Amino acid sequence: MKTLELQLITVGLDDGKQGIFVGLPLLSQQAGDTAGHIENIWFSDIKKVPDSLTMNELMQLVVKQLCDCMGTVQ
């Protein structure tokens, strides 16, 4: 079975609400504590996707969104 590495990021707000974001891992497990400090965070627009979407299809959308965003960042 083919596997896909994913990373969940949970963001908690001070009013108690939480959101979970799914993405490709930014750091490998071999990276030390000093690697990969956050410099910027971008949020995409909200997209409506079918609830029958597979994880592979979801990740294809994420990668496309990332490529589109990187093309417009200056």
pLDDT attached to residue 69? 62
The reply to whether 12 falls in a domain is no
Q: E-strand spans in 13-74?
A: 18-23
Domain holding 54, by residue range, is 45-74
Dist CA 16 CA 33 (whole Å): 28
| 72 pLDDT higher than 90 | no
Is 16 a domain residue?
Answer: no
Residue 71: which H helix or E strand, with range? Answer: helix 55-72
Given a cut of 90, whether residue 71 has pLDDT beyond it is no
Q: pLDDT, tens digit, for every residue of 8-19?
A: 888 888 999 988
Residue 15's pLDDT is 93
- 68 — pLDDT class (breaks 50, 70, 90): low
pLDDT tens, position by position, 43-62: 777 888 888 988 888 888 87
Residue 52: inside a domain, yes or no? yes
Q: How many distinct structural domains can be found in the chain?
A: 1
